[in-house]
Amino acid sequence: MTAKVSGLRVARYREHNCSTKHRTYAAMAMCVWSRAGWGRQAVVKGDGPYAVVHWLKVGRSPVYAQVELFDDLEEAVDLYEKASDPTYCGGSCRKAGSRHRLVELVLP
């Protein structure tokens, strides 16, 4: 499900392919965006229900997600808009397909 905030699409993640009942937003984010079988561990910073997700690729490393969590939606929107600038990630996001996402996490 998605909602629109100031013209931006905010995806809402309630459930994912996991039977664990996550108690924190950071634990849920780590579970959603890490791919253990592929050796891709997400980097999660902060805490809160709003996430800005960047997919990065540095050198020969596999593509991985960098997730920044916020308590305030406006802070998350500000970072999302900055991340849309092609120079924000220093080119590492362009190698990974320039994908950025604004997400609201809902704990079970």
Give pLDDT tens digits for 79-88. Answer: 888 877 766 6
Tokens matching residue 75: 């802070």
Task: State pLDDT tens for residues 9-60.
Answer: 888 888 777 888 889 999 999 888 887 655 678 889 999 999 998 887 777 7
CA-based nearest residue to 67, from 82, 91, 48: 48
How is residue 79 written in tokens? Answer: 């970072």
